[in-house]
């Protein structure tokens, strides 16, 4: 009897240890790598929607990154509604804030305000909600409000690559072109952001008002959707783009994937 009991305890212990190890591997932080392959300095920024979760990465909310430079940082396993984007042509010396950069500027300065420091669109966004409670990691490259820099997100566990590797600025339709103070096109706005139909509260381009469902806001009704989606099929290019099947990507949380974001891949 004693032997039997010991053996059962050993089995129980093994199960407990295995379950602790599983918990440890899925709940350890992830490593994110950000590389700037653009031939110019960028000022990446990072925002956590604090309504969705309070876990934040170890990295500051904004930093300067020279051409060719790589940074790595830890991201908590439960990072929710996080985004990373690149800011261009920044100078924070005078009145630091949203206008300190040609694209992607935020409330704050080099550091974006942790609560209100989202980037001024158009800006290509890397979006993440890492998996907890049995859900997978969700991630995408979003062009919903337009784009500024080419970008890829890759997984070290072989999960799908989310990407817009193409520079959408040079051929951006003129009504969407977003220019810097010297007139160079540095971003390409979505039709919603550019307010092409002049009715942002009831717009098939914005999926607002009576167009606020996937059924009433098909991609075919979004002006210039194909400009973005044809060149960058693996992006989230309008508010209900999940129906394309190539907008939102997943990776099993149990894989505990690390992610690499490359600007100008």
Ligand X SMILES: *[C@@H]1O[C@H](CO)[C@@H](O)[C@H](O)[C@H]1NC(C)=O
The residues of the shown chain that bind ligand X, judged by CB under 6 A, are 91, 93-94
* Site of tokens 């607002």: 208
As measured in angstroms, the least distance from the Cβ of 110 to ligand X is: 13
The residue among 95 and 220 lying less far from ligand X, judged by its C-beta, is: 95
Q: Which residue is nearest to ligand X (CB)?
A: 91
The residue among 92 and 138 lying less far from ligand X, judged by its C-beta, is: 92
The residue among 89 and 140 lying less far from ligand X, judged by its C-beta, is: 89
The residue among 103 and 260 lying less far from ligand X, judged by its C-beta, is: 103
As measured in angstroms, the least distance from the Cβ of 97 to ligand X is: 14
Q: How many angstroms separate the CA atoms of 35 and 208, rounded?
A: 36
As measured in angstroms, the least distance from the Cβ of 39 to ligand X is: 17
Residue 255: Cβ-neighbour burial (10 angstroms; 0-12, 13-18, 19+): middle
As measured in angstroms, the least distance from the Cβ of 123 to ligand X is: 21
As measured in angstroms, the least distance from the Cβ of 184 to ligand X is: 15
Q: Please, which residues have CB within 8 angstroms of residue 41's CB and are 6 or more apart in sequence?
A: 64, 65, 66, 67
Q: Residue 231 belongs to what H/E stretch?
A: helix 225-231
As measured in angstroms, the least distance from the Cβ of 64 to ligand X is: 11
The residue among 62 and 121 lying less far from ligand X, judged by its C-beta, is: 62
Nearest to 46 by CA among 66, 74, 77, 68: 74
Q: How many angstroms separate the CA atoms of 120 and 37, rounded?
A: 22
The residue among 1 and 94 lying less far from ligand X, judged by its C-beta, is: 94
- List C-alpha distances in Å: 6 to 10, 12, 19: 6, 10, 20
- List C-alpha distances in Å: 107 to 12, 26, 47, 61, 197: 53, 34, 11, 11, 28
Pairing of strands 82-85, 45-48: antiparallel
């Amino acid at each position: 009897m004693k032997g039997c009991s010991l053996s059962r305890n050993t089995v129980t212990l093994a199960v407990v240890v295995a379950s602790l190890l599983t918990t440890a591997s899925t709940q350890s932080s992830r490593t994110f790598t950000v590389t700037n392959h653009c031939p110019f300095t960028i000022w990446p920024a990072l925002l956590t929607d604090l309504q969705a979760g309070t876990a934040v990465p170890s990295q500051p909310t904004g930093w300067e990154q020279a051409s060719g430079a790589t940074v790595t940082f830890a991201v908590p396993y439960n990072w929710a509604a996080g985004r990373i984007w690149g800011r261009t042509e920044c100078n924070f010396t005078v009145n630091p804030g949203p206008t300190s950069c040609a694209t992607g500027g935020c409330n704050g300065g080099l550091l974006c305000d942790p609560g209100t420091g989202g980037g001024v669109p158009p800006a290509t966004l890397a979006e993440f909600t890492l998996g907890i409670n049995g859900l997978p990691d969700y991630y995408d490259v979003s062009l919903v409000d337009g784009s500024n820099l080419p970008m890829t997100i890759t997984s070290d566990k072989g999960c799908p690559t989310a990407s817009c590797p193409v520079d959408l600025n040079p051929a951006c339709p003129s009504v969407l072109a977003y220019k810097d103070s010297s007139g160079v096109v540095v971003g390409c706005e979505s039709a919603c952001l550019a307010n092409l139909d002049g009715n942002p509260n009831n717009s098939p381009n914005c999926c607002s008002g009576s167009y606020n469902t996937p059924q009433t806001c098909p991609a075919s009704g979004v002006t210039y959707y194909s400009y973005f989606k044809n060149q960058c099929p693996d992006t989230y290019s309008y508010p209900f783009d999940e129906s394309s099947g190539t907008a939102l990507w997943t990776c099993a949380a149990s894989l505990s994937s690390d992610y690499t974001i490359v600007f100008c891949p």
